[in-house]
Amino acid sequence: MYKRIKKYLLKRFTKQYWQSNRSNAWHSKRKNEAHNDFTAFSNAVCTKIENLPYQTVIEIGTGAGTLITLMSQKLPNYANFIGIDINKKQIVENQITYKNLTNVEFVFMDIEKYIENTNLNNAVIVSQNTLDYFPKNDLKKLLSLIHTKIENVAILVSSVKNTLQLHDSVETTEPGFKVYHHNYPSLLEATGYKSISIDSFGEKGDLIMVTGHKHSQ
């Protein structure tokens, strides 16, 4: 019982943190300090999907919008770029900052509700680090929901190389919440995705991009 209560409280705290002003400050700092990480991941993703038959890119946990806006500039064949986040203040800031990008939309919503309530097809789902804050069972439910609701979909997630050796999610403690280092290839396979691939990116080559498609490519 104690473990279940603790797990619930950690999950609740994590969500409240990313909805708070502390999250805004974190995103603002990271936007300036980690632009190279966003650039490296956006380059890796765009190279992977630029010639594939998808039309929409959706980012889970868009934060300050750096990744999704970079991708919008590199994928002229794609029609829509949508950044999802649970921090309303950050979404409003993004809408103001990027108001001139007519093909980019920012939405304040839980990703599960967005997938449930939006008619989507031919979509690419991307996430840089955000899915590491989902407990394993919650992430499996989300991946399964995406697989069920979107007819033609690909998922691309950034991670680190040592996750490839994990048989289960490894937890590390951050101030007040948990970060989960998931074995994304295993999770994608378990939730029905095909053509799973792993590509290295970044200056040190220690980062990986895991890709899975609903249908074989």
Confidence of residue 181 (pLDDT cuts 50, 70, 90): confident
Q: Does residue 15 have a pLDDT over 80?
A: no
Confidence of residue 12 (pLDDT cuts 50, 70, 90): low
- pLDDT, residue 116, reads 95
Average pLDDT, the chain: 86
> Which strands, in side-by-side order, build the sheet including 56-60?
104-108, 80-85, 56-60, 123-128, 153-160, 207-213, 194-201
Locate 69 and state its tokens: 């806006």
Q: Domain range holding 105?
A: 2-213
Q: pLDDT tens across 87-121, in order? A: 999 999 999 999 999 999 999 999 999 999 999 99
Confidence of residue 16 (pLDDT cuts 50, 70, 90): low
The total number of structural domains in the chain stands at 1
Cα separation, 63 vs 27, in Å, equals 6
- pLDDT, residue 188, reads 96
DSSP class per residue in 42-109: HHHHHHHHTTSS--EEEEES-TTSHHHHHHHHH-TT--EEEEEES-HHHHHHHHHHTTT-TTEEEEES
- pLDDT, residue 206, reads 77
Neighbours of 22 (CB within 10 A): 14
Please say whether the beta carbons of 190 and 139 come within 8 A: no
Q: Does residue 2 have a pLDDT over 60?
A: no
Q: Identify the DSSP state of 8.
A: H
Q: Does residue 8 have a pLDDT over 60?
A: no
| 193-206 average pLDDT score | 87
Locate 196 and state its tokens: 């799973």
Q: Does residue 27 have a pLDDT over 70?
A: no
| Residue position matching structure tokens 């919650």 | 138
Distance (Å) of CA 197 to CA 5, 98, 154, 179: 37, 32, 11, 23
| 64 CB-near residues (< 8 Å, 6+ apart) | 27, 28, 30, 31, 90, 93, 94
Confidence of residue 179 (pLDDT cuts 50, 70, 90): confident
pTM above threshold 0.85: yes
Report the percent of the chain where pLDDT is more than 90.
Answer: 64
CATH of residue 49's domain is 3.40.50.150
Confidence of residue 5 (pLDDT cuts 50, 70, 90): very low
Confidence of residue 50 (pLDDT cuts 50, 70, 90): very high
Q: Does residue 6 have a pLDDT over 80?
A: no
The CA R_g of the chain, rounded to the nearest whole Å, is 16
Phi, psi (degrees; rounded to nearest 5) at 216: -65, 140
